[in-house]
Amino acid sequence: MEDKIVKTMTRMLLPFIQLYGIFIILNGHISPGGGFAGGAMIGTSLILYTIVFGLPKARKKFSHRAAEFMESGGLILYVAIGLIALIFGLPFLTNIEAGFSLGEPGKIFSAGMIPIIMIGIGIKVFSTMVSLFHILIEEEIS
């Protein structure tokens, strides 16, 4: 897209969109939001980048290799957190009884494994959205 206004506005707005997405993910256990909503926000920001600046430039920001890494990484993080409970002889994905600290309700570092799982879900949703968009748009160009 060869539009100066759109390019400048995108460049200015992108950090704020991504920051808000990260805020939504990290506050998932305190306020409405969570991994799915925040991941969708960050994913949408990179889709906007792809639309405005084109696929070759977006590939430098988010390559196939990064997509593969984050795709599996989010899921592995989730499963690894769940497996910690098995060490203590408890059911899969046990939260407080498995040694995660309860913390003070309302603070970021509280609620045991919930924030970590939210980060995993956020990474997963973000990379799924962006790489699906890239795969589809790649087919269109070639």
Q: Which residues sit at the interface with other proteins, rule CB under 8 A?
A: 28-34, 71-72, 74-75, 78-79, 82, 92-93, 95-96, 102-103, 105-106, 110-114, 117-118, 120-121, 124-125, 127-128, 131-132, 135-136, 138-139, 142
SS3 per-residue string spanning 9-78: HHHHHHHHHHHHHHHHHHCCCCCCCCHHHHHHHHHHHHHHHHHHHCHHHHHHHCCHHHHHHHHHHHHHHH
Q: Closest distance between other proteins and the C-beta of residue 73, in Å?
A: 11
* Closer to other proteins by Cβ: residue 9 or 132: 132
Q: Which is nearer to other proteins, 21 or 112 (CB)?
A: 112
Nearer to other proteins, 41 or 125 (CB): 125
**Alpha-carbon distance 28 to 37, whole Å?**
9
